[in-house]
């Protein structure tokens, strides 16, 4: 028979913080402020903050890839704490799918999520409903930003602005790739040849891909 799960002491908290870029992670910007908010709120509520775990320099995408968050969840679910607390909802996720999955997990396992920025405590039905609403709006904003960015890039493209990093392949290499292509070789075949010969890519990389070859072939010098 497996050992019984330890029952967490009421009011025990594991805090979680995250920043989304390497620059923020290195400078500590945002992390100290998040941790301070967690400590202050625990003191105000009379909770016991066991530890604050941090994922520095990671995006909100794919919760399963965040080591500190997964550690926090494991420790809560073994009964070390009752509450997972974050300073902002988007520190956990901007994905409705991930957020609802986390809520379901909390309900099944009997622990609570607290998000300080919107005053949400999933221990209450109202708090749980509000958390779902806010996660939906966070995802909507992310998609709107993506759409605005895409629209702006399309305008620049129509104006003839070159997007992305410029291709720096030497002319001799461009001509060789064009010759191989004119001989009927596939993009992947050309990529494999260049990778096998240790020819650096236009950006100095070691491995060629079909898309890398296609970018070189898009140069005017290759259009013969």
Task: Name the residue range of residue 34's domain.
Answer: 12-142
Residues 204 and 97 in one domain: no
Strands (E), the chain: 12-18, 48-55, 83-86, 112-115, 120-121
Residues 198 and 118 in one domain: no
Helix (H) or strand (E) holding 145: helix 125-158
Are the C-beta atoms of 191 and 206 separated by less than 8 Å? no
pLDDT number for residue 87: 92
Number of domains in the chain: 2
Are the C-beta atoms of 63 and 102 separated by less than 8 Å? yes
User: The pTM is what?
Assistant: 0.56
Q: What is the pLDDT of residues 63-84, one digit of tens each?
A: 777 889 999 999 999 999 999 9
Residues 191 and 116 in one domain: no
Residues 25 and 117 in one domain: yes
**Does 152 reside within a domain?**
no
Residues 103 and 175 in one domain: no
**Does 53 reside within a domain?**
yes
Token pair of 208 as six digits: 């060629």
For the chain, count helices (H), then strands (E). 8, 5
């Amino acid at each position: 028979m497996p050992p019984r799960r330890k029952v967490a002491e009421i009011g025990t908290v594991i805090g979680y913080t995250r920043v989304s870029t390497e620059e923020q992670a290195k400078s500590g910007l945002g992390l100290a402020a998040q941790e301070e908010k967690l400590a202050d709120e625990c003191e105000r509520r009379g909770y016991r903050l066991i530890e604050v775990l941090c994922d520095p320099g990671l995006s909100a995408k794919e919760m399963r890839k965040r080591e500190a968050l997964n550690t926090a969840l494991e420790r809560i679910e073994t009964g070390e704490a009752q509450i997972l607390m974050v300073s902002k909802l988007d520190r956990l996720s901007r994905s409705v799918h991930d957020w609802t999955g986390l809520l379901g997990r909390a309900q099944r396992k009997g622990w609570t999520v607290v998000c300080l920025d919107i005053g949400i405590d999933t221990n209450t039905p109202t708090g749980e409903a509000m958390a779902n609403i806010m996660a939906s709006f966070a995802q909507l904003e992310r998609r709107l930003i993506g759409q605005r960015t895409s629209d702006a890039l399309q305008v620049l493209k129509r104006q003839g602005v070159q997007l992305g990093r410029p291709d720096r392949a030497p002319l001799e290499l461009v001509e060789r790739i064009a010759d191989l292509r004119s001989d009927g070789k596939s993009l992947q075949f050309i990529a494999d040849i260049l990778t096998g010969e240790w020819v650096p890519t236009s950006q100095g990389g070691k491995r060629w891909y079909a898309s890398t070859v296609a970018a070189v072939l898009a140069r005017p010098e290759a259009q013969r």
